[in-house]
Amino acid sequence: MIIALAADAPISTSVALLDAASTLRKPARTMPDGRGGLIVAIDGSLPDDLLHGPGIRGVHRQHRPYVLASREHRERSVVTVGDVRVGGEVPVVMAGPCSIEGRDSLLRAAHAVRAAGADILRGGAFKPRTSPYSFQGLGEEGLRYLAEARAQTGMPVITEVMEPEQVDLVAEYADIIQIGTRNMSNYPLLRRVGQLRKPVLLKRGMSARVDEWLMSAEYILAGGNMEVILCERGIRSFDPATRFTLDLTAVPLARQLTHLPIIVDPSHGTGVRSLVSAMAVAGIAAGADGIFIEAEPNPEQATSDAAQTIDPDELYQIIQRSRLVAEAMTVRLPQPMVFEAVREFASVAD
């Protein structure tokens, strides 16, 4: 059940609803509706006599299973990280190396992507790899380098957490916590980051449906953390020509279903350096709020994902094109005269 409260609803109304849900042992939670009001979400139903309190503007018994992530009763969310607004009017760019390989290389990459126009620095301190023999990251040492890069460039930083036991450590250094594709359904981890009051970027599982992706976001939201960013990073398909298939259909679809901001990862979504630029700009045209991209000064020498990493010059071009496309998408074009002629003909025919 979803109960929508008006902006001028007295606090006694929400307190009464939550107390009633607690008495009936039905989990309940609240969230702002983006218009000054409040949403009360209850796992189950309350008696009708409790649903007529002052300020209640709507009661919805039928709704999507991802109650808190749904756009049914909530305006679009903006996640603020420092001075960066993810979900605002300007596309946000998160860029940097796939993995942190050393202090000097990370600092060079950080300054380079900053100069290219990136807003947030990405870099993996803990890396999930298919092979147990591949480079797994530098761990806390890498986190310290990431914090130093933030101090030097002023950019917020994002890095991945892989286990519930790592959350406190990673949160100590990172401004945004990343949940990777392999952990989209790691429910203990989702519950743990739901206890944070720090933004979380949730990547779509490589074989996950959009509704499963949103249900994973619901785990985080249900824990009380409303600062969630979705990331479409490509799904497995039958074609071996690319590493994954960047599912751009998921972007406008998710925009219809959820209030959460959405970004795209064209690096993992293609796995091919020459395709990254086109798919990054296409993601913005599809309605994404930003891009998540692998970039560093010497991409061919990267230990992780060298084939899909771009250089800062290419990153600059992508950022400029993305901003132009985003601006163009907001323009309301005048209707040509032929539309008026068609309408006039239709009215005569009637």
pLDDT tens-digit profile of 117-153?
Answer: 999 999 999 977 677 767 678 899 999 999 999 999 9
The pLDDT tens digits for 148-186 are: 999 999 999 999 999 999 999 999 999 999 999 999 999
**Section 323-340 average pLDDT:** 83
With respect to residue 340, please indicate whether it lies within any of the assigned structural domains: no
Q: How many domains does the chain have?
A: 2
Task: Taking each helix axis as running N to C, give the angle between helix 103-116 and helix 312-329, from 0 to 180 degrees, rounded to the nearest 10.
Answer: 40
Answer yes or no: is 71 within a domain: no
pTM of the model: 0.88
Assess contact for 225 and 195: CB atoms under 8 A: yes
Statement to judge: residues 21 and 150 lie in one domain: no
DSSP state of 102: -
Residues 92 and 133 in one domain: yes
Examine residue 297 and state whether it is found in any structural domain, yes or no: yes
User: Residue 172's domain is classified under what CATH number?
Assistant: 3.20.20.70
Residues 8-30: pLDDT tens digits? 999 999 999 999 999 999 888 88
**pLDDT, tens only, 249-301:** 999 999 999 999 999 999 999 999 999 999 999 999 999 999 999 999 999 98
Are 56 and 201 in a shared domain? no
User: 189 and 312, same structural domain?
Assistant: yes
Position 72 in a domain: no
Judge if 190 and 316 occupy the same domain. yes
48 and 152 share a domain? no
DSSP label of 257:
H
pLDDT in tens, 170-226: 999 999 999 999 999 999 999 999 999 999 999 999 999 999 999 999 999 989 899
Same domain, 154 and 42: no
Task: Break the chain down into helix, strand, coil percent, rounded to 5.
Answer: 40, 20, 40
Q: Is the pLDDT of residue 341 over 90?
A: no
Q: pLDDT tens digit string along 30-51? A: 888 877 888 898 888 898 888 8
Residues 97 and 212 in one domain: yes
Q: Last residue of some domain: 11, 33, 60?
A: 60
Q: Do 127 and 50 share a structural domain? A: no
Residue range(s) defining the domain that contains residue 125: 79-329
Tell me, yes or no, whether 55 and 178 share the same domain.
no
Does residue 150 sit in the same domain as residue 267?
yes
